[in-house]
Structure 1
Amino acid sequence: MSQSCLIKKCTRTSRGLCDCCQQNLCLQHLNEHNASLVSQLNPLIDEINGLGDCLKTLNIQKTIGNSRQKLEQWRQDCYKKIDCFFEQKCQELHQLVNEKVDQQREELKRMHLKITELMNTQETTRQDINLLTSTIRQLETNINEIKQTCFTLDTRPLLIDDMHVVINKPTEHELDLSTLSHVYKTIPCSKESFRPFTSNDRYLLMHQKPSLCLFDREMNVVKQTLWSYGAIHDMCWSSTLNGFIVLGKNNIYFVNENTMAVDNVQRIEERYWGSCTCSDTVLFASTNEWSSSIIEFKLFPAIEMIKEWKYPLTCSKDEAIADIVYNNGNLALMAAKYFLLFFCISAVNINNETIKIVPVSVPQ
C-alpha cells in the first residue's frame, strides 16, 4: 500500500525518501527540497571565491619575513667567519715570507757593518774581498729565491651540512615566541616578596611586600591590602566566585577583587599546598611533596573538598607536581623529578572521575 507524503496537509502519494530530511515525500516536495539544497551551493561558491581572493592577496614575503631575516643574519655571520679565517691565513703567509726577509736583512746589516769597518781602517785583504763578494752573491741568490717563492696551498671545498639550517614546519597551536612584543614595562620586586602572580581580564595580582597588590594594564597599583598570612605558594582567578584564590602553606584564602578583603576559606593541617587552578565549577590544588596529590574542591556554595587523586595516578613516586593549569577539561601538569624538569599533560574527565597522564616531549 502506497504512503502519503509526510509534509503536513499534503495529500499526494510519496514518491521517494528525501535525502535532506529522511522522510517519504511526494514528487513536488522532493523537488522543493532538492531546490533548497541546490540553493545552499551558492553561498559556498561565494566562500570559495573569497578564500581564493584571500590566497591571491597573501603576502608570502611578509609571512616568511622573520625567518628570512634570521637566515640573512646567519649568512652574514658565516661571511664574517670566512673573512676572519681568510685574514688569519693571509697573516700566516706574510709571516712565513717576513721570516725569510728578516734573515736576509740581518745578513745585509752584518755585511754593511763589516765593509764599513774595513773602510774605516783602510786595511783589507784579497781573502776579505773574496769572502764579501761570495756572501753578497749568496744574498742576491736568496733574495731572488724569495721573489720566486711559490707556496703550496692545500684547500678543501667548504662543505655546508644541510643540518646547519633546519626549517621546521609550524606546529598547530605552537606558540611563536618571536611574535611577542618587546618589554613594555617592568615591575620591580624585592627579594622578600613572594613570586606567584595571576590575572583576570582587567588586573594583575601579585605580592609586593608587605602588601597584596592589584595592577591595571598600565602596571599601576590600583588596590592593595596588607598581607600578614605567611608564605604564598600559588594563586589563581575564579570567574565563578569573581575573586582570587590564594594558596598558603596549609590554608586556602579568597581575595575579593572589589574590596581586597581576605577570607580564610579552608585550613587542612596535614596538607602542604603547592599550586592551584580553577575551572568554572571546581578548584584544583596540588600538594607540595614527592608523589604529589591533586585535590578537587567545589566552589559553590562553599569551597569544600570533594575528591582526591593520588600517586601513581598523578605522578611517579619520585616526582613532584610543580605547577598545574586547567583549560577546556584538561589539566596541564609540570612535574619535577629529582631536579630534572619535564612536562606532561593530564586529561581529567571530571564526570567519570578518571585521570590520564600523557607525557609530552620538551625541545632541548
Structure 2
Amino acid sequence: MASSDTQLTTGVNEVYDERFEEIHNSVENTIELFDNGRGCRSVKRGTFGCVLGHHSYSSGIHRIRLRSDYGITFFGIHSRSKPLIPDDMVYGNYESNPSIYGWGANGYGISNGMFAQRTFTNKSAGVICFVLMLNCDEHKLNIINENTNERGELNVDTNHTPFPWCLFVQISRMGGCVSLVHPPSLTFKLFLPSAMPMAPSTIKTLEHPIIDSETTDPQLTSALELWRQEAYRMIDHYCEKKREEFIELRHEQQTAVKPTTMQSIFSPLTIDNDKIYFRSNRSASKNILPFQKIGTEALLEQNHGCIAANEQHFLIIQADILFLYKHSWPPIRGLPWTYGEIYDMFWCSALDQFILISEQHLLVFDAKTAQLSPLPLPDNPETINFYGGTCIGNVLYLFTWGWGSSIRVYEIRPMLELKRVYQSPFPCTTDELIMHCTSNYQVLAMVIKNCQDEIYLNLYSPTNMERFWSLKLDLVPGHRNIRCCSVNDNDWMVISPDSSSLIHISAEGELVNKITYDPVPWYGISLKNNDILILSDNTMTTYRLY
C-alpha cells in the first residue's frame, strides 16, 4: 500500500500529503520546487526536466489532484526501482523511459514509454486541473480532466513498471508549472513588513485541512514567532545599514571644503493589518453573477470611464470636473480637470492619496486637502507614456502603453525610489500589451491583449513577475478598454464595455460565469465588506455580494 498519510473515501485513498522531492534534469537547475515541494516549475528553457513524488504506491487505489498552471506538462507514474534516463536526441525528454505511463496536459497518452493515444482534446484554456488515479490492485492508471470531464485509462505492464510506483511529472523544454491540489483548508499568509527596503520577496504560507479545534494551531504559533524574529532581524539589518551610511556621509562632510550640518529624520515604522491575514481556501468559487443585492445607485452623467475609491470616498471625473464623493454620495469637492484624457486612477494607502494617470501626466490627489499635484518620480521618466498602475502595500507598479509593455516598480516609503524595471518577455512579450493592471493583497492581475486580438487574464507574482496562470477570455477587443478588479479577496471580475459583459474568474484561473450587463459597464472596483462597484455610462452602482 502507499506509504503516505491518506484518507479513505469509498475505497479510494485521497492522498493529501504528496509532495515533489526528487528532481531529474540533464542540464542543471532546469526545474525548481516551491511551496514546500507542492509545486514545481521551469527555471530554464531549452531542455526537459522532471520530478518524482515522495510517496511509494504498491497496493490499493490512490487519488491525486494536480494542476497544470501553464506550459506543456506531463503527469503519470514511474517505477521507483527503475533508473530515469534522459533522451538526448529530444532535448533530455524522460517520457521514452519504458517505466513511464501517463498523459500530457494536451491530451496525449504514454504507455511503456511510447505514444499510446490521444485521450482528450484539452479545449480548456489557462489553468487545467486533473485527477490521477493509481489503481495498484488492477494495474491501471486513470485520469480525469476536471475542466472538460474527459477521461482516460491505461493498463500498466508491471514487467516494465514494477512496484512500487511513484508520481512522475515532466515539464517540457518550453517551460511550465505544476502544483499539487490539496483539500479545502484554512490558509495563513504572513507578509514581512513592506516598510523595510530589504524586505524579502517571499510570502510565508501555511495550509492545513480544517479540523475541529478550539485551540490555536501550534504550527501557526510557531510561524508567528518565526515571523516576529525575522522582522526583528530585518530591523537590526536596516539600522546597521543606516549606521554605515551615516558614518560614510559624516566622513564626506568632514573632508569637504565647506562642511555643512547633517540632519537625521526618523519616520515611524507602520505595519498595516494585512501583513498577516487569514482566508479560507474554497474548492469552488461561489457564483456571484448576476448580482442579487443592490446597495446604492447614483446618476453620474458624462463621466470619463474611470473611478477610484478608499474607505471614505469615491473619486471620479464628470464633464471635466474632478469630483470627490462620500460613500453616501453627496459630492464634497470639485476641481477643474485640465489634464486631458484620463487613463487610470487608484488609491495608494502608502501615500494616503489617490494616483491619477492621464496623457503625459502622473498626479496625486489628497482627499483631505482637495489638492491635485504632480507626482515626481526619482528617475524622472518624463518621456514615458504610463497607461495605468496599482499599489500593493509600500510598492507602486506603473505600466506603459504599447506592444511589449514594461512595468516600473517603485518603493514608496521612506522615499520614492525606483527598484526595478520589467521588460519583454516579462510580464508580456513584444507582441502583447497590457490593457489594465490591478491587485489584491498578494498578486497582480493583468488584462493582456496580443497581436491576434486575443484577450487573456494573467495572474503574476508582484516580486518577480512570475506568471501563476493565464486564462484566455472569449472577448474581442474594441474601442474601449477591458478592465478587471478583485472580488471576494481572491477571485477576479473582468469588465468588458464593448461586449457589455462581466466575467467572474476564480482564484485558480477558472471561468465561473459570464453575463451581459446593462447599462454598458466601464469600470469596476472592490469595496470593503466584499462589496463591488460597477461604473457604467451614466450610473454608478454598488452591490452587496453576500
Q: TM-score, normalised by structure 2?
A: 0.33
Q: Which has the higher helix share?
A: 1
Say which structure, 1 or 2, has more relative contact order (CA 8 Å, 6+ apart).
2
Q: Which has the higher strand share?
A: 2
